[in-house]
Amino acid sequence: MAEARPVTHGRVLKIAVPIVLSNVTVPLLGAVDTGVVGQMGLAVPIGAVGLGAIILTSFYWIFSFLRMGTSGLAAQAHGAGDAAERTAVLLRAVLIGFLAGSLIALMQGPLFLLAFRLAPASPEVEALARSYLELRIWGAPATIALYAVTGWMIALERTKRVLVLNLWITGVNVLLDLWFVLSLGLGVPGVALATLIAEWSGLGLGLWLCRDAFGPALEAAKARLSDGAALRRMAAVNSDIMIRSVALQGSFTTFLFLGASFGDVTLAANQVLLQFLQITAYALDGFAFAAEALVGQAVGARSRPVLRRAVRLTLQWGIAGSIGLSLAFGIYGPAIIDLMTTAPDVRAAARIYLWWLVAAPLLGVTGWMYDGVFIGATATREMRNAMLLCVANYAVALALLLPTLGNHGLWAALMLLNATRGMVLARIWARKEPTLTI
């Protein structure tokens, strides 16, 4: 059993800051893809790339539980000083990601048929989107396996390497976009090919950044790959996280669908304001990921004092971050809205509901942070049950508030979902933590 390292403010920031910087690359990539095809001077290629990217993101998102599940399990093995199990966690997760991605690629025909039925487009857009998808889909094994690689590096506090990895993938993609589309004139297939190469090169780099996993502990790790208890635990953790994530995503999808009933202007305003939630998630992810790593390692090392300090410090930093975001949204919110849209009616509508987003970081921070705590402790069954309870409350709130408050009621229900997540998880943790076997 390894001795738990003390948790300090510097250690929390060392994990969190690279993740925040890494998250900046996420919207950049989509903007470059759109900008490059936009140089073709036609609307159809822009729509095709956007639609194809959304379809693939939806498929891949189903397996995003690998990132969180791998993080919690690897952090505990690392905290326990069990190098063989730490490597085995990575190998199992990468194999699952590779097999899942391969299955998606092999089933592309029926999957694409279903996707275009759910999201119909003009024949021209669909034809180009298919040419994009038929290339990019072969990157599915790499993309899903990268969830596991990223989770493993977070667990070991190697978030600078996560930043390097994301910068590499984005940089390769951008450079190849420019070359394939603007120089070689490959159009939409060129954008897909650029992303495909970036994904596979990213997996290669990611595995190289995890190269110490393939050292002396590799043989012992291979022997544990089919360990029944470890596989059952991994399956339980990942299935709980998947159910939780599906419930959360379903809530946001419901929000978008219900917002459409208030007219095009309100729908557009809501879409603009949801970007504030995206910014909040990107900013607070760093501290939530720090909680995953530090809590997981403390549980693995069986140190309750270190566990409690990890929870306290990461929560303090998360709250500090949420206060900063709320102040920024309150001061610069109107300017951010104006940057996102030039439509006067959408700008005016978004300003009416902006104060909900000023409050959003403060109302949601506890939920975001305790997600990290529960993942690190692999208390995923409790996290799943809490989410299902909160989503049920969200449904009741929608039924009660929409008829009388309209779009304000829609935002109030979403804020209630975020606030109750934090309260429920905090209450469960207060009961759970003293009973953990550490």
Average pLDDT rounded to a whole number, residues 224-230 = 90
Q: Which of 225, 244, 259 is the last residue of a domain?
A: 225
Neighbours of 107 (CB within 10 A): 12
Q: What HEC string does the chain produce?
A: CCCCCCCCHHHHHHHHHHHHHHHCHHHHHHHHHHHHHHCCCCHHHHHHHHHHHHHHHHHHHCCCHHHHHHHHHHHHHHHCCCHHHHHHHHHHHHHHHHHHHHHHHHCHHHHHHHHHHHCCCCHHHHHHHHHHHHHHHHHHHHHHHHHHHHHHHHHCCCHHHHHHHHHHHHHHHHHHHHHHHHHCCCHHHHHHHHHHHHHHHHHHHHHHHCHHHHCCCHHHHHHHCCCHHHHHHHHHHHHHHHHHHHHHHHHHHHHHHHHHHHCHHHHHHHHHHHHHHHHHHHHHHHHHHHHHHHHHHHHHCCCHHHHHHHHHHHHHHHHHHHHHHHHHHHHHHHHHHHHHCCCHHHHHHHHHHHHHHHHHHHHHHHHHHHHHHHHHCCCHHHHHHHHHHHHHHHHHHHHHHHHHHCHHHHHHHHHHHHHHHHHHHHHHHHHHHHHCCC
Between CA 294 and CA 296 the distance in angstroms is: 5
Q: Are residues 185 and 261 in the same domain?
A: no
Predicted local confidence at residue 372, as pLDDT: 96
Helix axes 380-405, 344-376, angle to 10 degrees: 160
* Residue entry with tokens 């905090």: 426
In total, how many domains does the chain have? 2
Range of the domain at 253: 227-438
> How large is the average pLDDT for residues 329-334?
95
Mean pLDDT of 351-362: 96
Q: Are residues 239 and 208 in the same domain?
A: no
Among 185-189, 196-200, 415-419, the minimum mean pLDDT is found in 185-189
Q: Does the pLDDT value for residue 188 go beyond 90?
A: no
Average pLDDT of the chain? 91
- Check whether 351 has a pLDDT greater than 80: yes
User: Which of 167 and 38 is assigned the larger pLDDT?
Assistant: 167
Q: Same domain for 240 and 372?
A: yes
Rounded to an integer, what distance in angstroms lies between the CA atom of residue 242 and that of residue 252?
A: 15
Residues 6+ apart with CB under 8 A from 328: none
pLDDT digits (tens, 9 = 90+) for 251-294: 988 888 888 788 888 888 888 888 888 889 889 999 999 999 99
Q: How far is CA 328 from CA 25, 331, 361, 366, 415, in A?
A: 21, 5, 11, 19, 18
* 218 and 247 both lie in a single domain: no
Are 94 and 34 in the same domain?
yes
216 and 231 in a single domain? The answer is no
AA identity, residue 427: R
Q: Are residues 338 and 422 in the same domain?
A: yes
CB atoms within 10 A of CB 248: 18
Cα–Cα distance measured from residue 129 to residue 121, given in angstroms and rounded to the nearest whole number = 9
Rg (CA), the chain: 22
Instruction: Choose the weakest-confidence range: 49-58, 107-116, 401-410.
Output: 49-58
| pTM as predicted | 0.92
Determine the residue type at 140: A
- Regarding whether 339 and 245 lie in a shared domain, the answer is yes
202 and 164 in a common domain = yes
Q: 97 with 175, same domain?
A: yes
pLDDT in tens, 34-47: 777 777 766 778 77
Is there a single domain that holds both residue 215 and residue 254? no
> Does residue 405 register a pLDDT over 90?
yes
The rounded distance, in Å, linking the Cα atoms of 409 and 430 is 31
Beta-carbon contacts of 110 under 8 Å, excluding residues fewer than 6 positions away, are: none
**Separation of alpha carbons 412 and 280, rounded Å:** 17
* Residue where a domain stops, chosen among 164, 194, 225: 225
Q: Considering 174, 202, 225, which residue would you say is the last residue of a domain?
A: 225
- 45 and 73 assigned to the same domain: yes
Q: Are 197 and 172 in contact (CB under 8 A)?
A: yes
